[in-house]
Amino acid sequence: MLIRILVERPEPLAGSAVTEGNEPLRFDGWLELLAVVAELVAAAPSSDEDGDGQTDRMTRNGGADRHLRSLRSWRRPDQETRRPGMSTRRDHRGRTDAAGAGTFTLGGDRAVHRLGFGAMRLPKDRSQARALLRRAVQLGVGLIDTAEFYGPGTSERLIAEALHPYPDGLVIATKGLTHPPDRWGQPGHPERLREAVEGSLRRLRLEQIDLYQLARIDPTVPAEEQVGVLAELRQQGKIRHLGLSEVGVEQLQAAREVVPVAAVQNRYSLADRAWEPVVDHCQGEGIAFLPWFPLGAGRLTQPGGALDEVAGRHQATPAQVALAWLLARSPVMLPIPGTSSVAHLEENLAAAALRLTDDEFQLLGLDVKQTDGPIGH
């Protein structure tokens, strides 16, 4: 394959291109260009299937297949489509993309690959942030999680800058309000929640938010008032599906008496499983569970520990094994690891193809559950 790089000036690339044959592939900056050049050099063609039918087995319906095919073929209006199936040397089983994780149908009608992307740690440089988000979508990420208080507002705006108009099948999940008032300064009154939803709609350039999550149930405001106003906004078509964050089973059940709940986002990782009963409840009810801080580590990462041992067996990083463990933990688990680096994004997504044995899963599960800090990146 002939690869030609055209660079017209030393500043971040606006008109430079990599070409395959005679077809130009255009990029906004050095970071995105270099990531793709590295892939082209190391690439070996691979099919959309991972050889064991995993994608087909885990796709719930034909509509899900259609959404995911559309997502994989998405391109920016000012960019040519990249050749599918590219892989890098960091791949497991020859691929670095989200498809190996299988799919989950969120709320019964939004099929997404189970390994998503958390947009809290986007680069401060806007061109780098846009390149990172576009790379995530190119690699099959179908669920991007953000919040009004990331920035605040910056993460949502960057997502719109990078990806709008959004490809069919891409789910943007955002969170509003309401951490404890003493932290974020605004209580969860109904009028404030309405403002939060309207603000996210404007920043994301959406008419309807696929998944809107109440970041915390404010203890100073009756929970039924907070859930009730979101139910009203759902009836008005501004929210498609509702999610909750940092809730127990009883709170989840109480909310579901008011409005259907499609997802729960609680802090959870291999080393931090305080919300284990909620995971089990969500699995039983078919509710998505999005673990935030999914790479919490504890002493599992110490040399000679279980995580280090299993990572060595698979020639993987501890972070990849930790993500693979989450994916194996429950079919409703949708990890959303974040990063500010394209290289780390690709490393995380390579975990989608990593398969733990039953013995490895049990070994890791029996090790320490205390979290001291993040695994890897």
Q: Which residues are catalytically annotated?
A: 150
295 near 321, Cβ under 8 Å? no
Q: DSSP 3-state assignment of 173?
A: strand
Residues in the chain: 377
Q: Is 105 in contact with 113 (CB distance < 8 Å)?
A: no
Is 312 strand, coil or helix? helix
Q: What are phi and psi of 272, to 5 degrees?
A: -145, 90
DSSP state of 317: -
**Which residue type, as a one-letter code, is found at position 39?**
E
Residue 68 burial (CB count, 10 A): 23
User: Exposure of 284 by Cβ count < 10 A (0-12 exposed, 13-18 middle, 19+ buried)?
Assistant: exposed
Q: List, in order, residues 6 or more apart from 13 with CB less than 8 Å away.
A: 7, 27, 28, 29, 30, 33
Q: Which letter, b or e, does each residue of 293-311 get, where b requires 16 or more Cβ atoms within 10 Å of its Cβ?
A: bbbbbbebbeeebbbeebb
Maximum alpha-carbon separation in the chain:
64
DSSP state of 329: H
- For the chain, the 3-state helix, strand and coil shares in percent, each to the nearest 5, are 40, 15, 45
User: Is 96 in contact with 350 (CB distance < 8 Å)?
Assistant: yes
User: Any residues with CB less than 8 A from the CB of 257 and at least 6 apart, and which?
Assistant: none
Measured CA to CA in angstroms, residue 78 lies from 15, 67, 165 at distances of 11, 22, 12
Count of other CB atoms within 10 angstroms of residue 10 = 7
